[in-house]
Amino acid sequence: MTTRPTYSDVLTYSGETDGAGRPSGPINGILGAMAAHLNPTERAELAQALRTAVRGEADFGTTARALTTMDASNYRRVPLGVVFPRDADDVAAALAVCRAHGVPVVPRGGGTSIAGQATGTGVVLDLTRHLRGIVELDPGSRTAAVQPGVVLDELRAAAAPHGLTFGPDPSTHSRCTLGGMIGNNSCGAHSVAWGTTADNTHALTVTRYGGDTLRLGRGTVPEALTGLPELIRTNLALLRTGFPELPRRISGYALDALLPERGTDLARAFCGSEGTLGVVTEATVRLVEAPAARALAVLGYADEAAAAEAAPGLLPHHPLTVEGMAADLVREPAGLPRGGAWLFVETGGATPAEARAHAERVLRAADALDGTVVTGPAGQRALWRIREDAAGTATRMPDGTEAWPGWEDCAVPPDRLGPYLRDFRALLAGHGLRGTPYGHFGDGCIHVRIDFDLLSTQGVARFRRFSEDLADLVVAHGGSLSGEHGDGQARAELLPRMYGDELVALFSRFKDIWDPDGGMNPGILARPARLDENLRFEVLPKRPVDVAFGYPHDGGDFSAAVRRCVGVAKCRTAQPAGAGVMCPSFRATGEEAHSTRGRARLLHEMLAGDAGGVITDGWRSTEVRDALDLCLSCKGCRSDCPVGVDMATYKAEFLHHHYRRRLRPAAHYTMGRLPVWLRLASPFAGPLNALARVRLLAALAKRLAGVAPERGIPVLARETFTRWLNRRWGKGTFVFSNDEVAMVWPDTFTEHLSPEVGRAAVRVLEAAGRHTIPAGRGLCCGLTYVSTGQLDKARKVMRRTLDRLGGTLGTPLVVLEPSCAATLRTDLPELLPDDPRSAELAASVRTLAQYLEEYAPDWQPPRLDLPVTGQTHCHQHAVLGDAAERRLRERAGLAGELSGGCCGLAGNFGFERGHWDVSAACAEETLLPSVRASEPGTAILADGFSCRTQLEQLGGVRARHLAELLAEGLAPESGTSCG
């Protein structure tokens, strides 16, 4: 019988050591073996013990484990299960059970850690589901007591009415949690003004492995931490001299906070401990006064080294931020001044004028190539989004090559940043690597993603060599290996290079005082795992997977497409950013499995399969199917995800394989083949509409078709759009020059369900001097087949469409339904990458506004002078863009913003049985409230048939396509213009 190793084995290990005296080789195998050696019976007993002990949930299922194998780092470790504690008592109970069973514990917040510290082989404590309460907010003392799962933006929103905020604000502020920020000692853009999380933490309530709870503050050491006073007293000289003085020293344990002259601040020392000492169950944090007004000075420099050298000179002006980034990371430099790199310098004031004056002083003082001051909130948000999205955009080089974290946030003294960056560039070149620095230049902290090859043995070896050399370079400049995100597995192995062996040995002693059984997040910080172990790419297929889509941006490799998700979790935000869409199903459910990141993690584990994946039944996986079932295929992630994950395409791909040669859900045969059924039903529209009004017959039809019983059946048009247009022209043959003709795509929805939109578009186009003709007969973009994963059928339909277009290919096409336009623009060329006609057709697609702007630029629309509200279609937002629509609305005097988010109907999704609740929740997020809040006389705009249907069925309001609104403003027709 094999004896399972225990934590005492780890703590008393006296075998092979490396040159620094640290255990090597087998030590990490022991750490990983704690959980791996549990047999099925022991795992079942552990799961049952946890379910009995906690009021929250204990999930040891495949999905829960797969979702927590990774964070936002290069690392992957498979846990036994996940516990969602409901309160502090649950945390203590779970830790007691895990200690009794000899199983390690990993505390986890938003899962956005970039160094691997939020992954582990034991039990993950997910603190985001229940422990997210703001216990108290005291404006008088400027403090707040919060639970660890509180998202930073939620705390900031609660503090804002009092003119207060929490100072540290990492770019993940919309989804990172206070517990995670404390664990990593997070900082963010405003640390030059307000410091790190440790600087803003007053007191902590912490539960240790085993279940005992301590209150941490200044001045006293709890009796339970036996040996800590002696450790401090006997090492005062080392603690006073062993830590470099710089604003962003995050690496290692902050033992210098325990010095008597620093108040023996145990709460501060706990910050940055990365879950290795205990679990925070409540934190009292300090709040700071938020400026009433802000302005942003953007300064252009020749390169990032020049920007870095300029940054320290701006600090005497007391800015709120001094952020830097290079041009390589900016895909659309709209609003940025001239330069190859920029500093973003935010200033505050009691009034907008005062904030602007402050920013203008910075601009005058800066020795920049160019600069500008932005005061409008929308303009500032747009520029800050460029900076905040860098963590994602940096994962792809300009040529599409993948880039990875690992050396994400080194920090040096700010006045050394310029020389350091030049040496860093030289080191990259010496190793044949590329990366674009950005980050917190005012604090000397640099973020970078590097194009490491982490898929091959040679590439991983180079990753290690570079890591060792860069650690030495950082130390040579007086810096810290981590300046924000913690050491985790990425850098902890190299801490002796920064601190020396003696101080690192104290780190281990400190860890043992807190956690004598070694159960808290083993392998992180103290006795760390190697930086090139547990890489998440090891388990992925070595050859491309046979797939239907072309994945042109990923070299045709589905694994590379899935690897796009690096875990920054912008899809986990509680509210869409501005006009953003991603990810409506997560916001409706709050479940990781229904986020873009969660689905990508499940697909990763599916691809890993027998090589070590949690999911071993490949395309037949029910776990992946169930997670993708609530994906609305809105394509919001294609544009809103910083790395362009396209989960709608991945879902279609998965469904294609999952149901291959198998019986499909009824909705796939009905709504998935909607164009066929509508063509067949069209001659019988009158009788069928009458039958649909018979409640019993409608209920039976919906049941057979897989339609949600709550849904109404749309009304069929008695006359299709094409039939009306042909009748309008009569039977004669008319010849026009190409300059006069506008071809309108007869999409299924306009053709059979809302021909009034087509008729309105014809009136508008004719008013603009264009003669309108249908693009052809029997054309179909294949949308419904794609959305239900019937990709063989979709390709057949698309090829037939290309054949029927014949000589008209390349002629601009006005497509009125945004989802059909998006399908033609993206899905068509990606499903038929070898047919050059597909790219030609895709390039010809225009929305009505785009067509008018391009081909009738001098036309003046009717002046309507109406307020509008409503919905920008998800596919319009994600694929087509709505800039032309905005300009057209402005010219027509249509004032008001359309809502972000998703209507929730999303084609077949909202009609399918089982989706009603999520569909309605999505509509209630932004769309329906914006309509209800509108003033009388406000026009409701929605270019998508789904959006209009959702508004009618859930909101009882009639929304109109932009074409309809414009047509209503035209002079009444006096008969037809021709025919």
- Tell me which DSSP letter residue 712 carries: P
Alpha-carbon distance of 590 to 581, in angstroms, equals 15
* Partners of 293 in beta bridges: 349
Alpha-carbon distance of 164 to 152, in angstroms, equals 13
Place 389 in a pLDDT band, splitting at 50, 70 and 90: low
- Stated as kind and residue range, the H or E segment containing 82 is strand 81-84
Give the CA dihedral 344, 345, 351, 354, nearest 10 degrees: -130
Q: Are residues 871 and 851 in the same domain?
A: no
pLDDT value at position 466? 97
Tell me how far the alpha carbon of residue 24 is from its chain's centroid.
Answer: 37
Q: Are residues 563 and 687 in the same domain?
A: no
* Partners of 895 in beta bridges: 867
Please check whether residue 682 is in contact with residue 715, taking contact to mean a CB–CB distance below 8 angstroms. no
Q: Are residues 330 and 369 in the same domain?
A: yes
Q: Are residues 703 and 797 in the same domain?
A: yes
* Partners of 57 in beta bridges: 84
| Cα–Cα separations (whole angstroms), residue 579 to 560, 821, 877 | 28, 20, 8
Q: Are residues 944 and 839 in the same domain?
A: no
Q: Are residues 428 and 303 in the same domain?
A: yes
Alpha-carbon distance of 739 to 432, in angstroms, equals 53
| Cα–Cα separations (whole angstroms), residue 511 to 113, 291, 514 | 20, 40, 5
- Tell me which DSSP letter residue 15 carries: S
Which residue segment(s) compose the domain that 838 sits in?
668-856
In a domain, 151, yes or no: no
* Apex 683 CA angle, 677 and 687, nearest 5: 95
| pLDDT of 23 higher than 90 | no
In a domain, 259, yes or no: no
Q: Are residues 702 and 622 in the same domain?
A: no
- Stated as kind and residue range, the H or E segment containing 563 is helix 558-563
pLDDT value at position 273? 98
Place 333 in a pLDDT band, splitting at 50, 70 and 90: low
Question: Among 608, 634, 660, which residue terminates a domain?
Answer: 634
pLDDT value at position 89? 98
In a domain, 469, yes or no: yes
Q: How many CA atoms lie within 13 A of 472 on its CB side?
A: 6
Sequential DSSP letters for 837-880:
HHHHHHHHEE-HHHHHHHH-TTPPPP---EEEEEE--HHIIIII
Q: Are residues 814 and 852 in the same domain?
A: yes
pLDDT value at position 12? 38
Instruction: Give the other-Cβ count within 10 Å of 724's Cβ.
Output: 17
Residue ranges of alpha helices (H) inside 693-832 are 695-705, 721-729, 748-752, 755-767, 783-787, 791-805, 818-822, 828-831
Alpha-carbon distance of 23 to 21, in angstroms, equals 7
| pLDDT of 572 higher than 90 | yes
Sign of CA dihedral 856, 858, 859, 865: positive
Q: How do beta strands 370-374 and 288-289 pair?
A: unpaired
In a domain, 73, yes or no: no
Residue ranges of alpha helices (H) inside 5-134 are 7-11, 26-36, 40-53, 62-67, 88-100
In a domain, 834, yes or no: yes
pLDDT value at position 738? 59
Q: What is the mean pLDDT of residues 494-521?
A: 97
Q: What's at 104, amino acid-wise?
A: P
Task: Look up residue 725 and give its two tokens.
Answer: 């247009």
* Partners of 348 in beta bridges: 294
The pLDDT > 70 percentage for the chain reads 93
**Phi/psi at 890 (nearest 5 deg)?**
-65, -40
The pLDDT > 90 percentage for the chain reads 84
Q: Are residues 602 and 627 in the same domain?
A: yes
Residues 174-226 have pLDDT tens digits of 999 999 999 999 999 999 999 999 999 999 999 999 999 999 999 999 999 99
Task: Look up residue 424 and give its two tokens.
Answer: 């860093």
Q: Are residues 397 and 469 in the same domain?
A: yes
In a domain, 804, yes or no: yes
Place 776 in a pLDDT band, splitting at 50, 70 and 90: confident
Alpha-carbon distance of 863 to 603, in angstroms, equals 50
Measured between its terminal Cα atoms, the distance across the chain in Å is 91
Length of the chain: 979
Alpha-carbon distance of 399 to 742, in angstroms, equals 37
- Whole-number average pLDDT of the chain: 92
Residues 340-372 have pLDDT tens digits of 999 999 999 999 999 999 999 999 999 899 999
pLDDT value at position 729? 75
Nearest alpha-carbon partner for 105 in 83, 87, 86: 83
Residues 390-443 have pLDDT tens digits of 656 666 776 778 889 888 889 999 999 999 999 999 999 999 999 988 899 999
Sequential DSSP letters for 651-668:
HHHHHHHHTTTSPPPHHH
User: Which of 19-23, 578-582, 792-796 has the highest average model confidence (pLDDT)?
Assistant: 792-796
Residues 680-702 have pLDDT tens digits of 999 999 999 999 999 999 999 99
Question: Among 824, 856, 888, which residue terminates a domain?
Answer: 856
Q: What's at 468, amino acid-wise?
A: E
In a domain, 542, yes or no: no
Q: What is the mean pLDDT of residues 39-51?
A: 96
Number of domains in the chain: 4
pLDDT value at position 517? 96
Please check whether residue 149 is in contact with residue 109, taking contact to mean a CB–CB distance below 8 angstroms. yes
* Apex 575 CA angle, 164 and 931, nearest 5: 110
pLDDT value at position 900? 84
In a domain, 517, yes or no: no
Alpha-carbon distance of 852 to 879, in angstroms, equals 19
Place 378 in a pLDDT band, splitting at 50, 70 and 90: confident
Alpha-carbon distance of 954 to 903, in angstroms, equals 10
Q: What is the mean pLDDT of residues 105-116?
A: 96
Residues 259-310 have pLDDT tens digits of 999 999 999 999 999 999 999 999 999 999 999 999 999 999 999 899 999 9
Please check whether residue 169 is in contact with residue 188, taking contact to mean a CB–CB distance below 8 angstroms. yes
Q: Are residues 348 and 469 in the same domain?
A: yes
Q: Are residues 434 and 326 in the same domain?
A: yes
pLDDT value at position 972? 82
pLDDT value at position 576? 75
| Cα–Cα separations (whole angstroms), residue 977 to 745, 767, 776, 852 | 21, 10, 21, 19
Question: Among 616, 634, 652, which residue terminates a domain?
Answer: 634
| pLDDT of 327 higher than 90 | no
Nearest alpha-carbon partner for 871 in 900, 894, 847: 900
For residue 383, give the CATH number of its domain.
3.30.70.2740
Residues 242-254 have pLDDT tens digits of 999 999 999 999 9
**Phi/psi at 384 (nearest 5 deg)?**
-65, -30
pTM for this predicted structure: 0.92
